[in-house]
Amino acid sequence: MNKEKEHWIVTGKRFYLDPIKWEVMNIPPVECEKLVIQDCGNGVRKFAGQRWDSRAKELKDTIVIESQAMQGSLWCMTKKHWNEVIGELETEGYGPLYQDSHEMVFKTWKAGGKLMVNKNMWYAHKHRSFPRTHNNGTTENPANSEQGWKYSLDTWREYYEKEVVPKWGI
């Protein structure tokens, strides 16, 4: 493996899963995402991945493309990158299951790595129209999403605005 790829996070093209029929839904897959600060209403904001169809279309004939965000349910990286750059995911501020994909991507960028999408690799993730089955908002996971979103913004917003936005011209 060349040194450049050693510090990549790689994800695949994301399809949507109907968990009742256990079938991929007839919705176009996500190939590339833009990282944005999303307004959730009531003064609440968070980092979010947003479909970036114009970039996906521009790079339609390229199999492995760079992206800014990923959903977070499928990713691969070298063990060396995990150990040296990511380490243990933080749960103190984020809480479990919140903003983990953003934490990994920001740490990777700061270390000179990239987030890549391999369009020959794909997965299907449960569509949001079906009920959640994880423990968000329960006693096992007391941190609510707004706390995790705020922590992520407090931790990474300055880097995002000073480094990421200018680099990508967003």
- Number of domains, the chain: 1
In a domain, 169, yes or no: no
For residue 25, give the CATH number of its domain. 3.90.550.10
Residue 102: its H or E element: helix 100-110
Q: Is 54 contained in some domain?
A: yes
Q: Is residue 33 included in any domain, yes or no?
A: yes
Does any domain span residue 170?
Answer: no
pTM of the shown model: 0.88
Q: What is the mean pLDDT of each run of 10 residues along the chain (170 residues)?
A: 84 93 94 94 90 94 96 90 91 76 94 96 81 56 70 94 91
Residue 14 domain-assigned?
yes
- Whether residue 132 lies inside any domain: the answer is no
> pLDDT tens-digit profile of 89-129?
888 887 766 688 999 999 999 999 999 999 999 998 877 67
Q: Is residue 154 part of a domain?
A: yes
**What is the structure's pLDDT at 142?**
45
DSSP 82: I
Rounded to whole angstroms, the Cα distance separating 151 from 98 reads 10
Give the residue numbers spanning the domain of 39. 5-127+137-162
User: Residue 168: inside a domain, yes or no?
Assistant: no
Quote the longest CA-to-CA distance of the chain: 47
Q: What are the distances in angstroms from CA 39 to CA 42, 46, 132?
A: 8, 7, 22
Rounded-to-integer distance, Cα 87 and Cα 13, Å: 25
